[in-house]
Structure 1
Amino acid sequence: MIYQSDALSVARLDGDFAELRFDLAGESVNKFNQATVVDLTAALDALEAEQGLRGLLVTSGKPVFIVGADITEFTELFGAGADDIAGFTGANNANFNRLQALPFPSVVAINGYAMGGGLEVCLACDFRVMASAAKVGLPETKLGILPGWGGTARLPRIIGVDEAVTWITTGAEQRADAALKAGAVDAVVEAEALRDAALQMLGDAADGSLDYAERRAAKESPLPMNDTEAMMAFFTMKAMVGQQAGKNYPAPMKVVEVIEEARGMGLEDALAVEARGFAELATTPQAAALVGIFLGDQYLSKQARGWEKQADRKIGRAAVLGAGIMGGGIAYQSAYKGIPIKMKDIAQEGLDLGLSEAGKLLSKRVARGRMTPEKMGEVLSSIDPMLSYEGFDQVDIVVEAVVENPKVKHAVLAETEKQITDDTILASNTSTISISYLAEALARPQNFCGMHFFNPVHAMPLVEVIRGEKSSDAAIARTVAYANRMGKKPVVVKDCPGFLVNRVLFPYFDGFSKLLRDGADFQAVDKVMEKWGWPMGPAYLTDVVGIDTGVHAAGVMAEGFPDRMKLDFKTATEVMFENDRLGQKNGKGFYDYIPDKRGKPKKTPSDTAYELIAPVCGERREFERDDIIARMMLPMATELARCLEENIVGSAAEADMALVYGIGFPPFRGGVFRWLDTVGLPWLAEQSEKFADLGKGYELTEGMKAKLAAGETYY
């Protein structure tokens, strides 16, 4: 053994080769934490001192190669200065430069995933062999940063500027066939042949059959572009990346700027440009927010796995009651993820609609090459449409997704309970009705909970799993396990009007209603909130959700929290509802919706809408952008704080992720609580005082006041 540590080892092989093997002790995957970086430095010292070596094989002792840097260590960077950040990137850059400059060739065998720093160490090697099922990529822009260990310098010099910019700015995973076609790897083989193929290539390089010196020269030289080519290429790239990324996500554009600035430089200078770009991005609020999202997602998954481990039996078969758009979406998602499902309705028309919904979604996958027609047939055949309860005594969970009416749900749930075993879980996909109230119709309320999907089911990641007063841990555990198997992001919340997401969404809508009452133009409000980062403004969102749905839910919320959600004026949304303007579902709401050439509804300003709401709106006037944002966001923030203080949700991270995954809260802001930490509670207190006349929803909670007084933050 040439070198051994907890992170990696270097061993001598036959033929005067050495093997550098990454195998981080106590972890299921390899990652570049600070200890690994230090150990790699020591391993390179040992390699350089070893006599008579002809080549180096780089491998992983894990099922994956290296998943990248240890993101948990990133959070320390955001408050650090440029010097500390440079130290973070500098040590491993020195390692990779030394690896590239070894006096003998190197070949890396890529298995599983080589992401971020995992791919960057591969780029420093002379040759790359990849397992056919492996994936590579540089996902750093998804964290608001850019590759900091040579990715922006080496990748363009290996696969060309256009391809490298696409890889890095999108942060997408690349399959083996795509990596081979781009020239990022030199060979693709089946996993069982990976080591032998890499050793064969290493032997060829050591014998002089493969020229590794030429490859090193290319990586160390300026990009082969003249000024005219560069000007045209980078102008086009900036236009394309700027349009796709937008102004709220600076990392992709910074990638293009870094590569352009370094195009005429050698490797060392290019790495210096990259380091400056990395440091600049690492100190932005977007990076802190997006890394927070990544860590929040990991925390969410950990919580869900914890619940799943408590499940006393697996979910092997499911059923859904109600075969409309929502029921069909649930059936599709369950079947697509390999869980056979019965889909029951009281009418054949409903079943036809549900099957049609599932068929449309599957057909799209086939059309995009993501599924074979044979697989589509298998998935569809695992959806069992029925008008009776036949076989319900053999399912593990039943999701009720009938009309949002308490009496109807009571009747359906009570009837269904008689058709299932004493051990089957019954869950309601309600968006507003109390789970404890619905449980009153049941003989076994301990087996009942909420399972609130968001529309459209196939696209929205979040599932709220709602614990009623009598819901057992077993019911929650099995329901979370089912959501996990469906590929969803479950968040366990306590029962209350609107649960978590709708409870905090409707104060946001109330802020919108008060703005219109006071003379704001709903299109202007939409534009401000969309520029702030929401995928759609409140008027557009109301139309998409459905104005009838919104009015019904607003009534539930007003009854549940009359002190802050019962409005003393008629809203513009209510006027829309009274005039049968229901939003996208019937082509008219705050906007008109006219089908475009593809048949998709296109949002169009509506004079009729303005005429109808005029009697309930004040005289039109302009509002300051910051005032619109504060009036919209303050009620949402205070209500979410109440939910945390009342233990409706378990943590700030779960609350933030629920809003990101459930209603599209801007990821680059990291969630409401991370946004509050960014703007500061003193600012929030100022806004609360400024808009105190708008009602209790604008008052800071007791918990917020305590944090403000103590100078504390949510994270």
Structure 2
Amino acid sequence: MIYSGAAISVQALAGGIAEFKFDLANESVNKFNRVTLEDFKNAIDAVKADSSIKGLVVTSAKSVFIVGADITEFVGSFAQGEAAIVEWTLSGNQIFNAFEDLPFPTVAAINGIALGGGFEMCLVCDYRVMSTAAKVGLPEVKLGIFPGFGGTVRLPRVIGIDNAVEWIAAGAEKRPDAALKDGAVDAVVAPDQLHAAAVALVQQCIDGKIDWKAKRAEKLNPVKLNMMEQMMAFNTAMAVVVGKAGPNYPAPKLALQAIQAHASLGRDEALKIEGKNFAKAAVTPQANALIGLFMADQAVKKASKKHEGKGSKEISQAAVLGAGIMGGGIAYQAASKGTPIIMKDIRTEALDLGMGEASKLLGKQVEKGRLTPADMGKTLSRIRPTLNYGDFNSVDIIIEAVVENPKVKTAVLSEVEGLVKEDTILASNTSTISITYLAKSLKRPENFVGMHFFNPVHMMPLVEVIRGEKSSDEAVAATVKLAQKMGKTPIVVNDCPGFLVNRVLFPYFGGFDMLVRDGADFQAVDKVMEKFGWPMGPAYLLDVVGIDTGVHAAKIMAEGFPDRMQPNYKSGTEIMFENNRYGQKNGKGYYVYEQDKKGKPKKVVDQTTYELLTPIAAARKEFDAQEIIDRCMIPMVNEVARCLEEGIVASAAEADMALIMGIGFPPFRGGACRYVDQIGVANYVALCEKYAHLGKAYEAPQLLRDMAAANKKFFG
């Protein structure tokens, strides 16, 4: 053994070739944390000191190669300012450079995922051999940063500026065929041939059959384009990157500016520029928010594991009550992830609609080449449509997805409870009706939970798992497991009107309604909130949700929280409803809808909307953009704080992730809690006081007042 450490070992193979193996102790994956970086440095020193080594193969003892840098460990460095971040990147790069400068050829054998710093490790090697089971990429822009261990320097020199910009700015994971086509790897082989292929390639270098020194020199020297060619490449790339990223995601533009600035420089000088721009990205509020989201996602996964551990029941057969679009979507999602599901309805037409929805979604996968027709057939065979309860005695969980009416739901749930096993879980896909209330008609309320899917089911990643007063840990655990099997992210919340997501969404709509009442143009509000980062403004969102659905849910919210959600005026949304303007579903709401060339609804402004609003709205006036933002956001943020106060949701991380995944809260703002942190809790409370005259929804909850007094934050 040449070297043995906590993360890396080096041992001699035959013919002067050594194996440089990553295997981080006590971890399921390899990553660049402080332990690995220290070991990396020591292992390089050991290799340098061994004169018998003629070539090196870099491998992983785990099923992944290296997943990247341990962002949870390094994020503390980002709070120390740009100078400290530059120093951190340069110290890391000194280690990577030392490896790249070893006096013999090096080949990476990429057996699994190699992302971020993991792929940058591959780039410091002279050659890269990739398994057909592996994926590579530089996804750092998704965290609001960009590659900082030489990725922006080496990749353009390996695959060219155009390809490198696309890899770095998009942050996508690349499959072996795409990586080989772009020249990011030198060979792709079957997993069982990977080690031998990498060793053989090193041997060819040692034997002088391949000029590995010339290959390495390409990474050490400037990009091989003259200034005119560079200018053309970067001008085109800048227009594309800025257009796609927009003003809310600065990292891709900073990465491109770094590449442009260091393209004509040698490696060491280029890395200094990369480090400076990396630091600029790392201190942005967007990086703070997106890294925070990554960490919140980890927290949500840990919370799910904790819930899973409280029950042993496995789900091998599911059922959904109620077909149609929602039932069909749930059935599709379960079947596509391998869980057989019975779809029951009382009408053949509804079953046809549900199967049609599943077939349509699968058909699109076939069209895109992601699924074969045979696989589509297999998936559809996992969905069994039925008009009766014949096979329900073998079902582990039943998802009730009938009409949003408590009497209908109660009747259906009571009926099916008498036909199933004693340990069968019943879950209601209600969006607003109390789980504790629905449980009152059941003989085994401990087996009953809420399982709230968001529409469209196949696209929305969140599932709210709602615990009623009598829901057991076993029932919650089984429902969390099923949600995960279906490819969804479950967040467990306690029962209340609207649960978490709808409860905090409707105060946002309330803020919008008050703006319209006070003379704001609904189009102007939409434009401001879209610029703020929402995928659609509140008027447009109400049209998409369905104004009839919104009015129904708003009444439930008002009954549950009359002090702040019961309006003392007639809202524009009610006016739309009274005039049968339900939104996209019937072609007219705040906007009217026409079909575009692809057959999708396109919103068009309708003067009639303004005429309908005239009797209930003040004279039209222009509002400052920040006032529009504050008046829409404060009621939502305050309600999130109340949910934390009341224990409806267990943590700020789970609350933020629910908003991101459930209603499209702008990711670059990190969620409601991080939004408050970035404003400053004391500043936010002062903002609430400024707008307190608008009503209880604008009054800062006690939790926020206490945090402001104690100078506390939600995170950090």
The two structures have a TM-score, normalised by structure 2, of 0.99
| 1:362-418 CA distance string (max 9 Å, x none) | 111111111111101111111111111110111110000000001010111111111
Check conservation: 2:689, 2:700, Cα contact below 8 A.
no
Tell me if 1:346 matches 2:353.
Answer: no
Query: Helix, strand or coil for the counterpart of 1:15?
Result: helix
Number of the residue aligned with 2:75: 75
CA contact 1:78–1:283 (8 Å) conserved in 2? yes
Partners of 1:312 and 1:386 lie apart in 2 by: 29
Q: Counterpart of 1:479?
A: 479
Helix, strand or coil for the counterpart of 1:463? strand
Residue correspondences, number: 715
Q: Deviations over 1:193-222 (max 9, x none)?
A: 111111011100111111111111111111
Instruction: Compute the displacement of 1:677 (Å).
Output: 0.3
Letter in 2 for 1:186: D
Match of 1:98 in 2: 98
Tell me the residue number matched to 1:64. 64
| Deviation readout 1:40-80 (Å, 9 max, x if unpaired) | 11111111111122101111111111000001113202311
SS at match of 1:18: strand
Superposition pairs for residues 580-619 of structure 1, below 5 Å? 580-619=580-619
By how many angstroms is 1:305 displaced?
Answer: 2.0
Aligned twin of 2:688: 688
Instruction: For residue 446 of structure 1, give the secondary structure of its aligned residue in structure 2.
Output: helix
CA shift at 1:82, angstroms? 2.2
The yes-or-no answer on 1:198 pairing with 2:164 is no
| Structure 1 residue 18 displacement after superposition | 1.5
* Residue 310 of structure 1: how far off its partner (Å): 2.8
Separation in 1 of the partners of 2:574 and 2:703?
34
C-alpha distance in 2 between matches for 1:508 and 1:75: 32
The aligned runs of 1:647-686 (5 Å cut-off) are 647-686=647-686
Name the SS of the counterpart of 2:309 in structure 1. Answer: helix
* Partner in structure 1 of residue 252 of structure 2: 252
How far residue 91 of structure 1 moved from its aligned partner, in angstroms, is 2.1
1:31/1:118 contact within 8 Å kept: yes
Contact 1:37/1:92 (<8 A) preserved: yes
Equivalent runs, 1:396-415 vs 2, <5 Å: 396-415=396-415
User: Does the CA-based 8 Å contact 2:90-2:271 persist in structure 1?
Assistant: no
In 2: Cα distance, 1:348 partner to 1:627 partner: 51
With 400-409 and 233-242 compared, the bigger mean Cα shift is at 233-242
Partner of 1:228: 228
Post-superposition CA distance 1:282-330 (Å, at most 9, x none)? 1111101101111111111121122223332211110001111111110
* Equivalent pair of 2:682/2:711 in contact (CA under 8 Å): no
1:228 deviation in Å? 2.2
- AA aligned to 2:9 is S
Is residue 2:10 matched to residue 1:30? Answer: no
1:189 corresponding residue in structure 2: 189
Structure 1 residue aligned with 2:372: 372
Give the conservation status (yes or no) of the 8 Å contact 1:645–1:703: yes
2:153 maps to 153
Match of 2:87 in 1: 87
Letter in 2 for 1:154: R
SS in 1 for 2:198: helix
Aligned ranges 1:199-214 → 2 under 5 Å: 199-214=199-214
Whether 1:459 aligns to 2:459 is: yes
Question: How far apart are the structure 1 equivalents of 2:271 and 2:235?
Answer: 22
Structure 2 matches for 1:246-285, cutoff 5 A?
Answer: 246-285=246-285
* Matched-pair contact (CA < 8 Å) for 1:311–1:481: no
Query: For structure 2, which runs of at least 5 residues remain unmatched after alignment?
Result: none
The letter for the 2-side match of 1:349 is E
In 1, Cα distance between the equivalents of 2:529 and 2:78?
27
Given the alignment of the two structures, is residue 420 of structure 1 paired with residue 420 of structure 2, yes or no? yes
The aligned runs of 1:457-606 (5 Å cut-off) are 457-606=457-606
- 1:42 match: 42
Q: What per-residue deviation string (whole Å, max 9, x for no partner) do you get for residues 24-47 of structure 1?
A: 000000000012111111111111
Name the residue aligned to 1:319.
319
Residues 598-656 of structure 1, C-alpha deviation per residue, up to 9 Å, x if partnerless? 11000111111111111111100011111111111111111110000100000000000
Counterpart residue identity of residue 298, structure 2: Q
- Cα distance in 1, alignment partners of residues 294 and 283 from structure 2: 17
Q: 1:168-179 residue pairs with structure 2 within 5 A?
A: 168-179=168-179
Match of 1:310, SS state, is: coil
Q: SS in structure 1 opposite 2:499?
A: coil
**Do the aligned residues in 2 keep the contact of 1:141 with 1:251 (CA within 8 Å)?**
yes
Summarize deviations over 1:104-130 as a string: whole Å, max 9, x none.
101111011111000001100011111
Cα distance in 2 for partners of 1:110, 1:494 equals 45
Quote how far apart the aligned CAs of 1:227 are.
2.3
Give the residue type in structure 2 aligned to 1:592.
V
Q: Is the 8 A contact 1:22 1:59 kept in 2?
A: yes
State the SS of the aligned residue for 1:224. Answer: coil
**How far, CA to CA, are the matches of 1:28 and 1:363 in structure 2?**
37
Aligned partner letter, 2:351 = L
Amino acid at match of 1:11: Q
**What is aligned with 1:360?**
360
SS in 1 for 2:629: helix
Does the aligned pair in 2 maintain the 1:37–1:91 contact within 8 Å?
Answer: no
Secondary structure, aligned partner of 2:593: strand
- SS, match of residue 265 in structure 1: coil
* Cα distance in 1 between the residues matched to 2:243 and 2:353: 37
What is the SS of the residue equivalent to 2:95?
Answer: helix
Q: 2: distance between equivalents of 1:82 and 1:454?
A: 41
Cα contact 1:77–1:282 (8 A) shared by 2: no
Q: Aligned partners of 2:222, 2:268: CA distance in 1, in Å?
A: 11
Question: Structure 2: how far apart are the matches of 1:688 and 1:81?
Answer: 30
Paired residues of 2:328 and 2:353 also in contact (CA < 8 A): yes
Q: Which amino acid in 1 is paired with 2:174?
A: Q
Q: For residue 713 of structure 2, what is the aligned residue in structure 1?
A: 713
Q: Which residue of 1 aligns with 2:702?
A: 702
Q: What amino acid is aligned across from residue 300 of structure 2 in structure 1?
A: L
2:93 and 2:78 map into 1 onto residues whose CA distance is: 20
**What displacement does 1:87 show?**
2.7
Asked if structure 1 preserves the Cα contact closer than 8 Å seen for 2:682 and 2:709, the reply is no
Give the AA of the match of 1:335: A
- Deviation of residue 102 (structure 1)? 1.0
Residue aligning to 2:218: 218
- Structure 2 residue identity aligned to 1:178: A
| Greater alpha carbon shift after TM alignment, 234-243 vs 586-595 | 234-243
1:94, CA displacement in angstroms?
A: 1.0
Q: 1:191 deviation in Å? A: 1.1
Task: Tell me how far apart the structure 1 counterparts of residues 448 and 349 of structure 2 sit (CA, whole Å).
Answer: 28
Report runs of 4+ in structure 1 exceeding 6 Å deviation.
Answer: none
What amino acid does structure 2 have at the position aligned with 1:649? V
- The one-character-per-residue Cα deviations of 1:444-498 (angstroms, maximum 9, x if unpaired) are 1110000000000000000000000110111000000000100101000000000
Tell me the residue number matched to 1:126: 126
Q: Distance in 2 between matches of 1:74 and 1:248?
A: 23
Q: Return the offset for 1:92.
A: 2.2
For 2:409 and 2:613, locate their aligned partners in 1 and report how far apart those are by CA, in whole Å: 34
Q: Report the residue type matching 1:600 in the other structure.
A: K
Which residue identity is paired with 1:579?
N
Q: Which amino acid aligns with 1:303?
A: A
Deviation at 1:685, TM superposition (A): 2.0
Q: Distance in 1 between matches of 2:52 and 2:427?
A: 68
Take 2:641 and 2:590, find their aligned partners in 1: how far apart are those partners?
30
Partner of 2:9: 9
CA deviation string 1:164-188 (max 9, x = no partner):
1111111111011111111111111
Q: Give me the identity figure in percent.
A: 60
